Amino acid sequence: MDIDKKYDNYDFPVTAAEPQDGHAGNLNEQQIAQVHQLRMMLEAEGYTDRLDTLTLLRFLRARKWDVKLSKAMFVDTEKWRKETKLDETVPIWDYPEKPEIAKYYKQFYHKTDKDGRPIYIETLGGIDLTAMYKITTADRMLTNLAVEYERLADPRLPACSRKAGKLLETCCTIMDLKGVTVTKVPSVYNYVGKASVISQNYYPERLGKLFLINAPWGFSTVWSVVKGWLDPVTVKKIHILGSGYQSELLKHVDKESLPVEFGGTCTCEGGCENSDAGPWHDPQWTRPAWWEKTADEKTIQNNGSKIETPQDAPAAESAPIAEKAKDETKDEAKQTAAA
Residue 211 is predicted with a pLDDT of 95
Q: Is 295's pLDDT higher than 60? A: no
- Which one is predicted more confidently, 339 or 218? 218
Q: Which of 313, 338, 336, 339 is nearest to 325 (CA)?
A: 336
State the pLDDT confidence band at 224, using cuts at 50, 70 and 90: confident
Residue 192 is predicted with a pLDDT of 76
| Average pLDDT of the segment spanning 197-214 | 93
For residue 123, the SS3 value is strand
Residue 186 is predicted with a pLDDT of 67
State the pLDDT confidence band at 302, using cuts at 50, 70 and 90: very low
pLDDT digits (tens, 9 = 90+) for 13-42: 999 888 899 999 999 999 999 999 999 999
Q: Is 6's pLDDT higher than 70? A: yes
Output b/e per residue, 295-307; b: 16+ Cβ within 10 A.
Answer: eeeeeeeeebeee
State the pLDDT confidence band at 182, using cuts at 50, 70 and 90: low
Residue 322 is predicted with a pLDDT of 58
State the pLDDT confidence band at 184, using cuts at 50, 70 and 90: low
| Average pLDDT of the segment spanning 233-256 | 92
Q: Is 266's pLDDT higher than 90? A: yes
What percentage of the chain has pLDDT greater than the value 70?
82
pLDDT digits (tens, 9 = 90+) for 44-83: 999 999 999 999 999 999 999 999 999 999 999 999 999 9
Query: Mean pLDDT across the chain, nearest whole number?
Result: 86
Please provide the DSSP assignment of 198-267 as one string. Answer: HHHHHS-S-EEEEEEESPPTTHHHHHHHHGGGS-HHHHHHEEE--TT-HHHHTTTS-GGGSBGGGTS-B-
Any residues with CB less than 8 A from the CB of 285 and at least 6 apart, and which? 159, 160, 162, 163, 279
State the pLDDT confidence band at 323, using cuts at 50, 70 and 90: low
Residue 337 is predicted with a pLDDT of 43
Residue 236 is predicted with a pLDDT of 86
* Domains and their CATH numbers in the chain: 1-84 (1.10.8.20), 97-281 (3.40.525.10)
Please provide the DSSP assignment of 133-169 as one string. Answer: TTTS-HHHHHHHHHHHHHHIIIIIHHHHHHHHTS---
d(CA 3, CA 9): 9
Q: Is 159's pLDDT higher than 60? A: yes
Q: How many Cβ atoms from other residues are within 10 Å of residue 64's Cβ?
A: 11
Residue 298 is predicted with a pLDDT of 43
What percentage of the chain has pLDDT greater than the value 90?
65
Q: What are the CB-based long-range contacts (under 8 Å, 24+) for 55-59?
A: 57/22, 57/23, 57/24, 57/27, 58/169, 58/204, 58/205, 58/206, 59/204
